[in-house]
Amino acid sequence: MYLENMVGLVVLAGLTGAMLVVVPLERIRRLAVFGLIFGVGLPFVVIGVMQNLLGLWSYRGVDPVTIAGIPVLTALSWFPGVILFAHLYIENRLPALRLLLFVIVGAGVTLLHYLLLINNMLAFRNWTLTGTFILTVAIHAGLVAALRLQVGSDLKI
């Protein structure tokens, strides 16, 4: 295994760095509550349901710290990812660019799952990479709906 117990840290560091470079600090502050709810709470629910309740996948050797088998750093990496996604969605008002954002995020998460699969850090049971892509796009569509409800006119979506 490559990067055994380090993948979550690498993903968290990469997304945090990207967030700090791309998203202005004021926007990070304004999206912090949104990020805490959907970038910290939601991943524990999604991973917990998909892995522990439905048994569709299982992580192994991804993070040094797990809670109920959920890789903590990987789950926490959603925080900067959600802030980054929300910022890019708000900034790109053209429908084609927003669609491209969904495709890029879906492809990125699917690529990460693929790399974890070939590195034996993720196992699928009755699940596919196509399912990962569709689930990712659906989650991000939900994030957009929540973003509109939570901060709507304040951020001029």
Residue 32 lies in a domain: yes
Residue 17 lies in a domain: yes
Residue 140 lies in a domain: yes
Supply angle C-alpha 147, 148, 152, rounded to 5.
Answer: 110
Q: Nearest Cα to 5, choosing from 43, 57, 48, 60?
A: 60
**Cβ atoms < 10 Å from Cβ of 140:** 22
Residue ranges making up the domain that contains 112:
7-150
Residue 157 lies in a domain: no
Q: CA of 44: how far to CAs of 77, 78, 100, 136, in Å?
A: 11, 10, 27, 15
Residue 1 lies in a domain: no
Q: Strand (E) positions, the chain?
A: 57-59, 66-67, 70-71, 122-124
d(CA 129, CA 114): 7
Give me the chain's average pLDDT, please: 94
Q: What is the pLDDT of residue 21?
A: 98
pLDDT in tens, 20-78: 999 999 999 999 999 999 999 999 999 999 999 999 999 999 999 999 999 999 999 99
Residue 2 lies in a domain: no
Q: CA of 13: how far to CAs of 7, 90, 99, in Å?
A: 10, 23, 26
Residues 30 and 151 sit within 8 Å (Cβ to Cβ): yes
Q: What is the pLDDT of residue 155?
A: 60
DSSP 31-58: THHHHHIIIIIHHHHHHIIIIIIS-SEE
Residues 51 and 108 sit within 8 Å (Cβ to Cβ): no
Residue 156 lies in a domain: no
Q: How many domains does the chain have?
A: 1
Mapped onto helix, strand or coil, the DSSP state of residue 143 is helix
Residue 102 lies in a domain: yes
Mean of pLDDT values over 4-10: 93
pTM comes to 0.92
